[in-house]
Amino acid sequence: MSRSHRSQTRRAFTLVEVILALTVIAVMAAASIPVIHGLRRDEKFREPLQFLASIISEARSRAMREHRSYQIVFEPRGIHASPAMYPHRRLDDFLADLARLRTPPELPPSSLDPSTQPTPWQPPWSVSIPVDDQTECGVLLWGDGDWDVLDDGRMRRWVFQPAGISAPAKVRLRSDGGEMEANFDGLTGEITAERSRIVSQQP
């Protein structure tokens, strides 16, 4: 066999190997797309509880740093973190006070003098996580016998004391797309256990 023929044979085998390798890569990539899509969907589904965990950590840190109580309030259309405000027997009263907490005070006429520079207003720290109409918010606080599903304008308050201590709590968000549940430690505010179930949405 001539040298040129052997060289052409080697090139032919190399080309076949490249085609086979590309085919294997394409098959593996196609098979991994549903898995990646599922992981991204799971992460998207878990975002509210992950965001809540960060808010709880911040509320606890502020309670200890500022030597005042902070609260997490659960209600049908949202979860809110703010300095503890009492008393609130009705959800409407709490939401009205939360709105006032976030509203800049009216400046007195003397502050309109351009020669004076009033101190910029800094609102107290507060954060809200909206809960859409299709999602059910359930809370299981220490001492509750069963899940408290919040509806009909009801709310539940979870308070962090200046020592940073609070009772343990469980939070559950449920919708047609599935449900997610997390256990929060009362001493650290961290998630100690988590469970999620996603319902496949058929096209």
Task: Provide the 10 A C-beta neighbour count for residue 63.
Answer: 24
Counting Cα atoms < 13 Å in the Cβ hemisphere of 46 gives 16
- Give the chain's domain count: 1
Residue 112 lies in a domain: no
Residue 144 lies in a domain: yes
3-state secondary structure of 154: coil
Spans in the chain with pLDDT lower than 50: 5, 7-9, 35-39, 41, 202-203
Residue-wise pLDDT tens digits, 12-64: 557 666 667 666 666 565 555 554 444 454 556 667 888 899 999 999 999 99
Residue 110 lies in a domain: no
Residue 2 lies in a domain: no
For 137, the domain range is 42-101+124-203
Question: Residue 90 sits in a domain of what CATH number?
Answer: 3.55.40.10
Q: Residue 126: name the closest of 84, 77, 188, 187 by CA.
A: 84
Residue 60 lies in a domain: yes
Residue 183's Cα: distance from chain center in Å?
14
CB contact set of 48 (below 8 Å; sequence gap of 6+) = 129, 131, 173, 180
